[in-house]
Amino acid sequence: MRRTKILATLGPASFDARKLAQLLDAGANAFRINFSHGSDAEHREVLARVHRLVDKREDAVAIVADLQGPKIRVGEVTPSPRRLLEGRRLVLDARAGLGTEDRVPVSIPGFSTAAQPGDPVLIGDGSIELLVEETADTEIVTRVVHGGLLTSHAGLYLPRAKLRTGVLGAKDRADMAIAIAGGVDFIALSFVREARDIREARALLHRLPQGAKVGIIAKIERAEALQRAESILAASDGIMVARGDLGIEVPLERLALEQKRLVAQANAAGRFAIVATQMLLSMVSAPRPTRAEATDVANAVLDGADAVMLSEESAIGQFPVEAVSWLDRICGATESAMLRGEVRSAPATGAGPSLERAVAEAAVHLARELRAAAIVTPTHSGRTASLVAALRPAAPIVALSSRGETRRRLALVWGATSRPVPSHLPLPELRRAARASAVSALAVGPRDRLVLTAGYPVEGRPTNLVTVLDGEEIEPRAPTPKRRRGAATPRSA
């Protein structure tokens, strides 16, 4: 069983039902829909198509809606793409309209004071660099320092500007409503700066029907977010290390170090971490990755990433299914080497003492000492399974929950597979359900040893119990005596 999850971005190369099924069969655990591209009607149709497929699957599949956020982009460019030549003059124009040979429309907050002569301007992934020569109320005159292909709606960056914009614009709020109505499991929030951005988005989610069931992924792509990562993690359900924009915001030579630090912080906080951007970029046009890309993916696994993400590779690439297959192969091989002790992964550390974390540590320790076939974690919100997963046990994790949204959200948590169980099971029934679910999810033997966590004895108590299940202990099911009305039953957090 591969522990590291695969998040595949959908696009024209993967929208049809047949291709979606192939991506799942190749190993995708979750789908991302990028709301920076496509129309409202297209987003609704894709969401409906995905649900028609994934709702029939036994293994839960998560759907992530990635909001555009307050990213500055150039407008329409004609022709698109077109090459900018070094030394040429290019005007950034605040007025709407189509771009010409030497003029590009762009909307920048506080346009008249956003740039000063001598400031750099970066476009796309940073490969196009401009230098500001003059500014006016509606124009920023630049000279091309490093040229390249300019496309419509490419990102534009002003590294020296201090632009203050809200994390959710009008488009993001409208897209969020479409995504929630379409049944997504996560909102990926772009350009997060601080925990307050997460709280603002969550408050808006809670005002939408079913929005309270949706998790928030904080995309770390601004330098200022790096210094506030701990509070951002505490406010969110997980983070995405979005290396495209982050690689422009921080010195490129520090990008790998920041990735490692962010993933370690997420592990310590019991939150999942997704590593994204250019994982297998060459596979947009090639059937196999480069050696450097394979190494990059393996290092993300060694860092402790919960999931790795495909962007262009699965959205517009020629080989989307092959890209997922290669991620599956590389992640699986790296994990196998880690389990055999051939290579060392990042050490798992806790963020501080708590009852639930102590129980998670006890479960992992027991599973290791007893060589248990699996750790089974009943969970209401997914927190217990996430805490166990953050410790990176050798034994696979089976999460049990009566809530479909919890099972789907665990599709991005390292090492966790999930199965449905009824709510409010007495402990003897829970033990039977744990055994049956482990057999179903992992094909473990009916007498293999399992470690089980639970909340006991009061309903609603945090996870406070660890027990061991030996096959011979599970006797044939006996009639369950009727409980008194209101009697307490075990439940896990």
> What residues are annotated to the active site?
32, 73, 219, 277
> Do the strands 62-66 and 30-34 form a parallel or antiparallel pair, or are they unpaired?
parallel
Encoding tokens for residue 132? 């500001």
- Non-local (6+) Cβ contacts of 82 within 8 A are 101, 149, 150
- Which residue, 277, 200, 282, 187, is CA-closest to 235? 200
**Three-state helix/strand/coil letters over the chain:** CCCCEEEEEECCCCCCHHHHHHHHHHCCCEEEEECCCCCHHHHHHHHHHHHHHHCCCCCCCEEEEECCCCCCEECCECCCCEEECCCCEEEEECCCCCEECCEEEECCCCHHHCCCCCCEEEECCCCEEEEEEEECCCEEEEEEEECEEECCCCEEECCCCCCCCCCCCHHHHHHHHHHHHCCCCEEEECCCCCHHHHHHHHHHHHCCCCHHHCEEEEEECCHHHHCCHHHHHHHCCEEEEEHHHHHHHCCHHHHHHHHHHHHHHHHHHCCEEEEECCCCHHHHCCCCCCHHHHHHHHHHHHHCCCEEEECHHHHCCCCHHHHHHHHHHHHHHHHHHHHHCCCCCCCCCCCCCCHHHHHHHHHHHHHHHHCCCEEEEECCCCHHHHHHHHCCCCCCEEEEECCHHHHHHHHHCCCEEEEECCCCCCHHHHHHHHHHHHHHHHCCCCCCCEEEEECCCCCCCCCCEEEEECHHHCCCCCCCCCCCCCCCCCCCC
**Residue 210's CB: how many other CB atoms inside 10 A?**
12
**What backbone phi and psi angles, to 5 degrees, belong to 491?**
-155, 145
Encoding tokens for residue 230? 């701990």
The residue assigned the tokens 């909307």 is 107
The gap from C-alpha 443 to its chain's centroid, in whole angstroms, comes to 28
- Non-local (6+) Cβ contacts of 1 within 8 A are 396, 417, 442
Asked if residues 431 and 469 have their Cβ atoms less than 8 Å apart, the reply is yes
